[in-house]
Amino acid sequence: MKRRLHFFSFYLFPFFVFLAGGLAASAQGTLGGKITGGKNHLPVAGATISFSDLNISAASDSLGQYKLSRIPDGYYLIKVSATGYASKIESVTIKGSIKKDFQLDASAIELNEVVVTGVIAATASKDAPVPITTMNYDQLLQSSSTNVIDAIAKAPGVSAITDGQSISKPVIRGLGYNRVLTVNDGVEQVDQAWFDEFGIEADPDAVNRYEILKGPASLAYGSDAIAGVINLIPEDPLPEGQVKGDVLLNYQTNNGLMKGMFHLGGTKNGIAWSARVDNTMAHAYQNKYDGYVINSQFSNFNADGTIGLHRKWGYTQLHASYFDLQTGIVDGTRDSVSGQLMRPVAYPDLNGGAPTYEIPTHQEQTTYTPFVINQKIHHTKIVWDNSVAVGEGRIKGIFSWQKNQRQELNDPTIPNTADIYYSSNAATYDLRYISPNLNGFNFSTGTNGVYQSSQSLGTLLLIPNYNFFEIGAFAIANKKIGRFNLSGGIRYDERTFNGIDHWVDSTTQAPVAPGATNGFHEFPGFTSHFSGMSFSFGGTYDISKSAYVKANIARGWRAPNVAEAAANGVHDGTVVYEIGDPSLKPETSLEEDIAFGVNAKDVDFEVDLFNNSISDFIYARGLKNSMGADSINNSLNAVGLGAAPVYKYSQGGAQLYGGEITFNVHPSAISWVQLNTTLSYVKGGLQHAPDSTKYLPFVPPTRITADLKFPVNPAGGPIKNAYLKFGMLSCFQQNDVYQQFAIYSGLNTALTPYEYAASKSATKGYTLFNVGAGGDIVAKGKTVCKLYLICNNLFNTAYIDYMSRFKYNPVNYTTGRVGVFNMGRNLSLKLLIPLDFTPERK
């Protein structure tokens, strides 16, 4: 404990010294000028000038004039953007009053973005040595999704393990679970992310932009970022004097999804505020083979609010959010005569009574309330974000408190009792100093980490109560030398994990004293200590004004999660008996990345290649009995779940390699057509493993996407920024299958030999077609509303995605098909109504 306090105080003390002097030492400046656009250099009204590092922005007036005040002196990257123009990204040094004009080129294409994920300060995406993919709000509006990760599951190098329409787990280049770190509202999302039926507790309507860092990001984030980072970025505060908002309505035909969102914000005298509330609900989705997929319905309520103060010394803001999801869990049980999916009525009791099921009525199939079994998830979060100027540098400090509650209800006879109930409290902290820019050189040093305490409050136990504390110190530097932009750094982390000793009654699983009658020592107490060293070094080189090359090498690490270290029981979502090992070592990875890209007027493309070698890779290995058959556990602490095959977490070497290609054509001479294509490829396997287990589970198959878009902007009419879009997504057959990974999400039914064989076979490839259209309705020069129409799976293709857990559902004996298929044709209609309460200027 003394060591931890000494380590903590050693790294925090300089920040408090800087903080004490920062307020007095800071100076302020202003930035103003004019924004023009097009060949005739006409004033651009409504253009936005934003400082990502300072959370401030301004808008140009009808004459194209803009002004920003209360800017701490320093070196910043700014972005100027306007509808119908290519964004411009430039560096600017603020010291006193600065005048700077911008000329924008007419274009509907975003060639470069400002990124903030894993870098010292806001950086142009082409200057970041690690591969980063972005998705902005307009792209989100023009697509259709049902949860926060589903919205980016088709981005190059990204996929998702799905458990129905409400739960998607991000996978980056073949790695998921605790290997992908989610950042939301500027802080690490701390929950129970160790199983694939546990989703990401984030409001998709509160995300203004996604940044996806592909590759080890342990240098900036510590453990759990060994595969990369999904950064969910909210909207910037509004420019001074504005009060704006919007109403979003969405309806989808396949699942009856209904969404309503209201958002309002404003800024006056440097005080910025915003508030949002939204609700989404959907009934069971449909496909042509299964009809309604019973119990796939969900409802999701979210609310958030922010208040911030911006002054010459920087800013401080407080953000609070609440996420509430109730979602059904698809059982997969079918009627033996009709093959129709059924809902459970009662499960086996302790006396051996048989389970009973019923074929649902049409009214039950289209209800918006999930049946038992279902999950209830609540996530509450408070974030305090600060930036204080210290000379021309600054100190960033961001802290959060998060409470996560996850309940799973499995017994229809006691629908209000949670068999599984995990409750977690967590705190995160991140303190760093960001230096001024000194002849192209700047650096950042600091400390960050997390504390979490979790309790299992249900009657079915798989993991013990636990807590962990992690702290890491890092230093990152960046140097611009001519056409080279070099970046690198080093980091050291320590994590202490405590599993709490726990005895239960072997017949009821109620907690009992050690050594009690019928007592079962399910979780022996233990303490594990982990440490990890991370580094990253790379750079970019501008071959010409439009062409560039990138290269990076990074070492990341990941400590074992609670299931890997301490599981001892039946995993209710897979019906396998899992055994953890507290002596597991941390995973360490070494990844090499190289990329070549072009950002030209008519074409842009990028080729990214990677090789990732992982030592001590943690995976679940099926155990064998003395006869060489699968080991089966019949322990009494698996009450109600029956016999279960035994899997124990083990370690070995693993390697993944592959890459992504993006190719976009947007000819300036033919402005009414655009073509955007991507290719994602990854291979992953265990080293020195038998053929049956050499492939890693849930490594996505090769995927190609193509979108042909026709922007239309009729002059003088009531419709602006209209478009028509045709899309195609093609997933290849995945033949590299992990043979022992024969789990499924059904309950209380053992796999038949037919189902077991099917669960280990290749998943067929498929091709889907999509169409979309949209535009702005204007009157008297103002946008009244924006309409978006999207049709996914246009030809109602029946398919099972390789990344869907529903491929392990039981067989339909009337057709011989195994598993539950993905969603069929779905038409989505969105209506966005902008609100503007900004007082008119006199």
Supply 273's token pair: 């505020």
Chain centroid offset of residue 476 CA: 24
Which of 466, 498, 599 has its CA nearest to residue 542? 599
Write down the pLDDT at residue 794: 97
Write down the pLDDT at residue 573: 64
Q: How far is the C-alpha of 480 from the C-alpha of 720, rounded, in Å?
A: 42
Write down the pLDDT at residue 564: 92
Question: From its phi and psi, is residue 34 left (phi > 0), alpha (psi between -120 and 50) or beta?
Answer: beta
For 223-290, the three-class secondary structure string (H helix, E strand, C coil) is CCCCCEEEEEECCCCCCCCCEEEEEEEEEECCCCCEEEEEEEEEEECCEEEEEEEEEEEECCCEECCC
* 745, 197 contact by CB (below 8 A): yes
* 409, 347 contact by CB (below 8 A): no
Write down the pLDDT at residue 371: 87
Domains and CATH numbers, the chain: 4-107 (2.60.40.10), 131-836 (2.40.170.20)
Supply 785's token pair: 């509303």
Alpha helices, DSSP H, located in 272-372: 362-365
Write down the pLDDT at residue 9: 46
Q: HSE of 799 in the Cβ direction (CA atoms, 13 Å)? A: 21
Which residues lie closer than 8 Å to 449 by C-beta, 6 or more apart? 222, 428, 429, 469, 470, 471, 472, 493
Alpha helices, DSSP H, located in 366-450: none
Q: How far is the C-alpha of 381 from the C-alpha of 471, rounded, in Å?
A: 21
Q: How many CB atoms are located within 10 Å of the residue 718 CB?
A: 11
Write down the pLDDT at residue 692: 66
Write down the pLDDT at residue 377: 95
Which positions of the chain have pLDDT values less than 70?
Answer: 1-27, 108-111, 347-354, 572-575, 625-643, 692, 738-762, 841-842
Which of 377, 376, 395 has its CA nearest to residue 386? 395
Rg of the chain's alpha carbons, rounded to an integer?
A: 27
Q: How far is the C-alpha of 590 from the C-alpha of 158, rounded, in Å?
A: 20
Q: How far is the C-alpha of 175 from the C-alpha of 587, rounded, in Å?
A: 13
How far are the Cα atoms of 584, 588, 654 from residue 616, in angstroms, in the given order?
Answer: 8, 7, 8
Backbone angles phi, psi at 739, to 5 degrees: -65, -30
Supply 148's token pair: 């926060």
Supply 323's token pair: 């996420």
Q: How far is the C-alpha of 440 from the C-alpha of 437, rounded, in Å?
A: 6
* 60, 49 contact by CB (below 8 A): yes
- Provide the β-strand partners of residue 505: 519
Chain centroid offset of residue 321 CA: 17
- Provide the β-strand partners of residue 686: 654
